Amino acid sequence: MATFIPAAHEPLEDAEPSHLDVADPLGIRVGKATRWEFLRNLKVDTQVGTIWLGTWGAASTAFFLAGLLVFFLAGMDQTGGSLFLLIKYFGNINLAPPDGLGLARSLRGGGYWQIVLGFWALSTIFWAGRCIERLIRHKWRPFLVFAWLSAIFLTACIWVFHPLLVGTWSDAPALGLNSDLQWAQNFSVLWGNLYYNPWHQLAIFFLFGSAMLWGMHGATILATSSEGSHHEDAEIKNMTSGSQKAILFWRWTMGFNAFPKSIHDWLWWFAVGVVLASGIGILSTGVVTNNWYAWAVDHGTVAQYGPMTRSAINQRPRPMPPELLAPSGYMPAAGK
């Protein structure tokens, strides 16, 4: 059996200067910041503390703040211009999407929703550009970009792709705290219980698996921290007894091998698997079937609940009339 003998190394507490910026011996700034002249005139630097923004990051931040501003203006519109009511009923702010496809006919009829969503979509895309620029500059592997793009994929499936497939923006979530929660509940009910969607089941598997792996990884590092396994920066450069003891502890307790790289591979794949499976599950809803419970009964994955007829199973719940939904989202006009 081969024995790994670590090479001599510097003390774990001694951090090496960044080789990417000789003008920064502490290694705080990575790379050279890109500055916009008009931002400099406004006394705004694209280097915010230890976060490097650059061109892509500054544009992403600008679009996000623009969307946030429109969201608050829409909230002020819904509360009659009262800042007090906006704060009091902030959870009930509801920027609903328009009916059908195309542009909304008015701001209150879905225009706010489209403007905010457009700004935030640009913000996430430009932030992906920032990630790509960083990885190209430092010749790093593109796992961060792929993880971010997978999150964009799920978001696009919920707010763009699925509404396009079913033919109406109104099937997308409204923007707001309570409205997002209501959409998550209503979406499952209207399409025959999303829990029977096999892609949703796979997403839950990845979600629980991610939580388990993170817990196992954290417990392993904490258990062997007395050996220095928690000094991850130093261990990456030169694996010592800390990582070795962590590997042994994992094998003794879990029964199979894991290494400093492989455990992070598993964590990455499980986390990305959650959003990819969720996105496919959203896209298949309304395309593969209009009722996931009926689909599960037909494919033998669930037993039928009692002597229900097929017409009763296929009957989708009808949305509640707007006048019955008004009390839950009611916000009194300013001054009342």
Q: DSSP letters along 235-292, please? A: HHHS--HHHHHHHHHHHHHHSS---HHHHHHHHHHHHHHHHHHHHHHHHHBTTTBS-H
- Asked whether the predicted pLDDT for residue 238 surpasses 90, the reply is no
- Report the distance separating Cα 247 and Cα 235, nearest Å: 13
173-197 pLDDT per residue, tens: 999 888 888 888 888 888 888 889 9
71-87 pLDDT per residue, tens: 999 999 888 888 888 88
- Asked whether the predicted pLDDT for residue 315 surpasses 70, the reply is no
Mean pLDDT across the stretch 95-100?
88
Of 61, 87, 60, 64, the C-alpha closest to 76 is 87
Mean pLDDT across the stretch 126-135?
87
User: In the structure encoding, which two tokens stand for residue 118, read together?
Assistant: 């457009």
Between 135 and 230, residue with greater pLDDT? 135
* Residue 95 β-bridge partners: 175
Most confident of 8-22, 115-129, 182-196, 304-318: 115-129
Residue 95: phi and psi, rounded to 5, are -95, 95
What's the confidence (pLDDT) of residue 268? 92
Q: Would you give the DSSP letter of residue 333?
A: P
- Asked whether the predicted pLDDT for residue 264 surpasses 60, the reply is yes
- Tell me if domain 53-190 and domain 198-284 are identical in fold: yes
* Residue 289 β-bridge partners: 285
SS3 at position 50:
coil
Give me the percent of the chain exceeding a pLDDT of 70.
Answer: 72
Residue in the structure block whose two tokens are 């002249």 = 37
Contacts 24+ apart (CB under 8 A), 294-297: 294/192, 295/192, 295/196, 296/196
- Report the distance separating Cα 30 and Cα 130, nearest Å: 14
How many other C-beta atoms are found inside a 10 Å radius of the C-beta of residue 161? 16
- CATH number for the segment(s) 198-284: 1.20.85.10
- The one-letter amino acid code at 27 reads G
Buried b (16+ CB within 10 A) or exposed e, 91-112: ebbbbbbbeeeeebeebeebbb
Most confident of 27-41, 202-216, 302-316: 202-216
Residue in the structure block whose two tokens are 């609903």 = 96
Of 268, 251, 171, the C-alpha closest to 210 is 268
What's domain 53-190's architecture?
Up-down Bundle (1.20)
Instruction: State which H helix or E strand residue 135 sits in.
Output: helix 112-138
User: In the structure encoding, which two tokens stand for residue 127, read together?
Assistant: 């932030």
How many other C-beta atoms are found inside a 10 Å radius of the C-beta of residue 333? 11
- Report the distance separating Cα 185 and Cα 86, nearest Å: 25
What are the extents of the domains in the chain?
A: 53-190, 198-284
- Asked whether the predicted pLDDT for residue 329 surpasses 50, the reply is no
The per-residue pLDDT of the chain, averaged, comes to 77
Of 301, 277, 165, the C-alpha closest to 292 is 301
Between 167 and 321, residue with greater pLDDT? 167
Contacts 24+ apart (CB under 8 A), 153-160: 153/275, 153/276, 153/279, 154/275, 154/276, 154/278, 154/279, 154/282, 155/124, 156/121, 156/279, 157/278, 157/279, 157/280, 157/282, 157/283, 158/279, 158/282, 159/117
- Asked whether the predicted pLDDT for residue 253 surpasses 80, the reply is no
> If pLDDT is split at 50, 70 and 90, which confidence band does 223 have?
confident
- Report the distance separating Cα 100 and Cα 98, nearest Å: 6
37-59 pLDDT per residue, tens: 666 666 555 666 667 777 788 88
